[in-house]
Chain A
Amino acid sequence: MMALDLSMNKYSDVSMAEKERLFDEVKADERWHHVLYGCYECGICVAACPSARFYDFSPRVIAQSVAREDVDLVYTLMNDSIWDCSQCFSCDRCPRQNSPGQIITIMREVAVKNGLKSAKTALEGYGRIIYKIMSTGSQVSPDMLQPNAFPDWGGHVKEISDNLDVWRRALPPETLHTTETGWKITDKTIIELYLIWHMTGVMDLIQGVDEGLYMILVDVMEERLEEAGYDDVTFD
């Protein structure tokens, strides 16, 4: 377990103005006033938090530092702590109605929007999943259960993939009996998804965090949009 460095030396090269700018962005979020009411350090959130059990992580420290407006500490946490949260919201049992989990949601969004290095590192491992979902418009589909597709899923995948049709038919809902239909995306839907991601700035967010991922997504999207007659939609 990596210990959290709270000495405040680690980010001493980052200017106070920059740290304040990021914190102001967090506080400007419209959800802000519904997630923080003040903390009396009872520790109920920590007791309920699964991440606190396994990492050097504390939802109480999150709530405390933002309530005290400790700009230095908030910056450190935004880089080194908020990614240890599993966003389960077990902490939503605070007697003061604070939600450390939702405070973290906002902090993460600011970290992503500003392309902080910690956000890049934390999201690196998800690039492949984001690529699948955003290029196909669909979740990871069952026919991707191939021994070589996700090596980290382990050796039993071969056994499952060899008999995938049988396994699917064993599932209670009929709609899941196939490896295809439930995950089939119509042209209309995928074009709409591409346009939504384009117009709402999602693609800009991705560009800030993972330039390579952005590049291959744009490549897929521009080609498909052009085929659908949206020649005027460009990403650059």
Chain B
Amino acid sequence: MSHENLNGCIILKDLHYSVADNTWVKVNDDGTVTVGMTDVAQNLAGPILHARTKGVGTGRRKGKPIATVESGKWVGPVKSPISGEIVGVNEGLEADAQLINRSPYRNGWVVKMKPENLDAELADLETGDAAVASYKAKMENDNMAGCTHIEGSDTYE
């Protein structure tokens, strides 16, 4: 999977990003989408202690919370980058919320959703080199030095 490394912050180029809300969307073959937090998000939050997802069957408009994430220093929502119904949640997060820190794009995904208006809403998200450029600008704007990773984190080659 092609990726960019911005001072340690990994951006996978084939995902669709809400750069402002630090979330990603992956379009699956079965028409659902997988949603998660970005590497930048896990880094800003620090080691995550609890991640509570909304239940399967919950309908969410874009921008509304699909999960609440708590770290030692921060609590906040994971805002849904698209509108739709939650059709699956990552059960692994209940026992080990730091999956999000170690594997934000793989094992630490947050929910799967059945999108309502995917094509139009994907157009509002950024992907590929455009997403990388946006993240670069955001990190400069926020004076963010880069990302660090806890032990056992995914590696990218």
Contact = CB atoms under 8 A, between A and B. Distances in A.
Interface of A: 124-125, 127-128, 131, 148-152, 212-213, 215-216, 219
Given A128-B75, A150-B72, A219-B54, 12 more contacts: A124-B74, A125-B73, A131-B70, A131-B75, A151-B72, A212-B76, A212-B77, A215-B64, A215-B65, A215-B76, A215-B79, A219-B68
Nearest first, the 4 closest Cβ-Cβ pairs linking A and B are A212-B76, A128-B75, A151-B72, A131-B75
Contact of A216 (B47, B49, B72, B77): B77
What is the size category of the interface that chain B forms with chain A? 10 to 19
Q: Which of A128, A149, A152 has the most CB of B within 10 A?
A: A128
Given A148-B49, A149-B49, A216 B74 contact: no
B75 A127 contact: yes
Chain A contact residues: over half helix, strand or loop, or mixed?
helix
Contacts of B73: 125, 128, 152
Interface in B28-82: 47, 49, 54, 64-65, 68, 70, 72-77, 79
B75 A219 contact: no
B132 to A, nearest CB: 25
23 contacts: A125-B73, A127-B75, A127-B76, A128-B73, A128-B75, A131-B75, A148-B49, A149-B49, A151-B47, A151-B72, A152-B72, A212-B77, A212-B79, A213-B76, A215-B77, A215-B79, A216-B65, A216-B75, A216-B76, A216-B77, A219-B64, A219-B65, A219-B77
B143 to A, nearest CB: 13
A223 to B, nearest CB: 10
Q: Which of A151, A152, A212, A219 has the most CB of B within 10 A?
A: A212
A213 B72 contact: no
Contacts of B75: 127-128, 131, 213, 216
B8 to A, nearest CB: 21
A152 B47 CA distance: 12
A149 B48 CA distance: 10
B47 A128 contact: no
A201 B132 CA distance: 40
